[in-house]
């Protein structure tokens, strides 16, 4: 028996990997933002500027990077 090649082209596989990476970043960023929000609501106080300036912007950057990567066209 001869082994047949994949029915998917290399370009299609690269695009799928890129979209999976993009949506994974969006998911991680969303989870980070929700966990951060729940943590602050659980304490009912603001911890400090350093915490707020690192948690939410990092989540936003992950979401933004994921959307950009997932939406790219070749």
- Rounded Cα gap, residues 15 and 39, in angstroms: 36
Residue pLDDT, tens place only, 33-63: 898 888 877 766 666 676 667 788 889 999 9
Q: pTM for the complete prediction?
A: 0.77
The answer to whether 66 and 26 have CB atoms below 8 angstroms apart is yes
Q: Label residue 8 by pLDDT band (50, 70, 90).
A: confident
The tokens for 32 are 């980070």
Comparison of pLDDT for 27 and 52, the residue scoring more: 27
Max mean pLDDT range (2-11, 20-29, 43-52): 20-29
């Amino acid at each position: 028996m001869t082994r047949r090649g994949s029915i998917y082209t290399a370009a299609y596989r690269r695009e799928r990997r890129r979209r999976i990476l993009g949506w994974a970043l969006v998911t991680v960023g969303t989870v980070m933002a929700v966990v951060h929000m729940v943590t602050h609501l659980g304490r009912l106080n603001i911890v400090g500027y350093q915490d707020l300036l690192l948690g939410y912007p990092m989540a936003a950057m992950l979401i933004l990077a994921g959307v950009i990567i997932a939406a790219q066209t070749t």
